[in-house]
Structure formats: structure tokens, C-alpha cells
Amino acid sequence: MFPIKLKDYTNGYWDAYYYSGNINNDHVDQFANIIARKKKVFNDSVLDVGAGHGYFLYAHGGEVMGLDNNAIAIDRAKLTFGVHIDELDVEDPFTMIQIQGTLKVKTVTLHHTIECFRTPVQTMKYLKTFADEYFHILVQKPTVTSLKPVNFCLFNVKTIEVLSDKIGCELVEFEQNEDYIEAVLSV
């Protein structure tokens, strides 16, 4: 097993990433383009899980809530973009059971987040209780150069279909290019 707690390991990686001041304003433009293309998915309340730097929240500008389990990321997002992100570890079953039923949004987004889940099926089942209509998933296609030490799962069209089935959703949109896979699941 791991010599240190997995959460300490992953937060150590992300702490270094966020401390580096690694802000890329091109990401705001990328999310703005996604929001414009997927208006039906993003035209109402959204919960952004793994909000990180706050790029999506800033680009959306509407009724968006963010969750992240890294305090440095949360502080950086507030400082850089003025967005609010709540600190919560969505992979902690005890926490998720406690907050089930306390929040409902139209769409739950997972942008470069799901590949970092150690238990994606269980975590997505918890997150499904918050979504009224959609999950929007954006993952980087796995390549030797794109993998990070915190990527526990790799996804392609087949694994997203399997995940969708296991959590009781329907895959309604799927797009991919040379870098990314984008999927919309209907709850």
C-alpha cells in the first residue's frame, strides 16, 4: 500500500501546481467556448466539481457553485478570479452521505476531475444526487505526456459508456478531438 495517505500525496502534487502560479488565461477562453456550444447544459444552475483555479466558474459567470478539496486552489481562484469555491472532498463517503439532499443543480461538471477519482463509480453515484438533468465530463485523452501522478483512471468512449451504465445515466453526447474527450450524460 502507499507509505503516505493518498489524499496527502495528491494534495502535495496539487499544492506544488497551484503554488507555482500556473494560471493560464487560455483556459478561460476554452471554457467560454464549451459553455457557448453547450447552452442547454449550462443555461441554469451548475456545480463544478474539482473547480481548481476557477476557470470554469469565471468563464460561466452565472449561477455556478464550485467544490474542490485543495485549500490552495480555492485561495488562488478567489485571488485571481474573485470566485468562491467550497472546500469538500467528494470522495469521502461519510461527507457525501451527510450532504446528500442538501443541494440540487441542473448540471454537475467534472472538468479534468474524474480521472483523479480513486473510486469514480461510487463518487459519481453520490454526485448524481445533486444533478437534476446532466453530467458534463471533460477529460484529457491519456498520452504519455498528458498523464499526471494523480491520474488514477484513464477514460475513452467505452469506459465512459460503462461508467454511464453503472451509475444509471444515459450517454447523450460524445465528442473527441486530438486532446480531449467531452461527454454529456443524462441523469
Q: Per-residue DSSP letters for 126-159?
A: HHHTTEEEEEEEEEEPP-TTT--TT------HHH
User: Is 119 part of a structural domain of the chain?
Assistant: yes
Question: Given this model, what pLDDT does residue 97 score?
Answer: 76
The CATH number that applies at residue 92 is 3.40.50.150
User: Is 49 part of a structural domain of the chain?
Assistant: yes
User: Is 88 part of a structural domain of the chain?
Assistant: yes
DSSP designation for 118: S
The mean per-residue pLDDT over the stretch 83-112 comes to 84
**How far is it, in rounded angstroms, from Cα 29 to Cα 115?**
22
Residue 22 pLDDT class (50, 70, 90 cuts): low
Domain span at residue 93 reads: 6-186
Dihedral, CA of residue 91, residue 97, residue 98 and residue 104, to nearest 10: 90
Most confident of 3-12, 25-34, 96-105, 118-127: 118-127
User: Is 1 part of a structural domain of the chain?
Assistant: no
The mean per-residue pLDDT over the stretch 138-155 comes to 63
* pLDDT higher than 90, residue 169: yes
Q: Are 134 and 74 in contact (CB under 8 A)?
A: no
Residue 47 pLDDT class (50, 70, 90 cuts): very high
Q: What is the pTM for the complete model shown?
A: 0.80
Q: What is the mean pLDDT of the chain?
A: 80
Comparing 43 with 143, the larger pLDDT belongs to 43
Domain tally for the chain? 1
Joined together, the cell numbers standing for residue 123 give 463518487
The mean per-residue pLDDT over the stretch 80-88 comes to 90
User: Is 108 part of a structural domain of the chain?
Assistant: yes
pLDDT digits (tens, 9 = 90+) for 116-146: 788 889 889 988 988 999 999 887 665 555 5
Provide the percentage of residues in the chain whose pLDDT is more than 90: 25
